[in-house]
Homo-oligomer: A and B are copies of this chain.
């Protein structure tokens, strides 16, 4: 039997993103990792550090998608309220997690294991830890909700490792055909070819470089031979109208 593709949603939490101070690169990193294992990311959202908003969004996402990733809000300060919110979303208590505390105690000497840092050991009662090889304080998951810190360097290392353990379902195959012609010129043709290969996803992405512009067409799907067939057909057409296609 054919495996079903898994779906995912990402929630990034942080006022600094919504005020424009910070560009969210975490969701892009997670999207890439998910794409590589064949999980379809269906939605990314960014919301404020507000408990009710986090609870609401987590509950919507966890019923809608197979996997939910959150980033941000599990550090030692007053605005780090993600762990508490996740606990409430699942109707669980927020408790001192012994293993998390042990790790913090081992990492910090007594005089710098402040009350603020110890806060990072309080997790939903049924949380399982996700290792943090960079700064010790762990991420965690409850059922299908995976909770990561917001600092990109730490999140990336943790997610990269964690994603290996997920069941990714079927992989994507992908080909790119680029041309120096514009979308306005090839648009009608691409619409036709999309109809012909309706079970593939053909995306059209204009690019602008210093001295040139053009379009990259990305052909994506489950069936490798069909992806190649469609790509070659597009390549031949663009060549026939002198569009200088490249395929890769």
A residues sitting closer than 8 Å to B (CB atoms) are: 15-25, 27-35, 40-49, 75-79, 108, 112, 114-117, 119, 151, 153, 183-188, 190-191, 194, 201-206, 208, 218, 220
Contact = CB atoms under 8 A, between A and B. Distances in A.
Interface of A is mostly: mixed
A210 B121 CA distance: 28
Contacts of A184: 76, 108, 112, 114, 116-117
B187 A77 contact: yes
Given A31-B19, A114-B185, A116-B187, A45 B46 contact: yes
Contacts of A27: 24, 46
Nearest to A188: B116
Identical subunits present = 2
A21 B114 contact: no
Contacts of A114: 184-185, 187-188
A20 B19 CA distance: 23
27 contacts: A15-B203, A17-B31, A18-B31, A18-B43, A19-B35, A20-B29, A20-B31, A20-B41, A22-B205, A24-B27, A43-B45, A43-B47, A45-B45, A45-B46, A49-B203, A76-B184, A77-B183, A77-B191, A78-B194, A79-B202, A108-B184, A112-B184, A112-B185, A116-B186, A116-B187, A116-B188, A153-B208
| 5 pairs of A and B residues whose beta carbons are closest in the complex | A116-B187, A20-B32, A78-B191, A20-B31, A117-B184
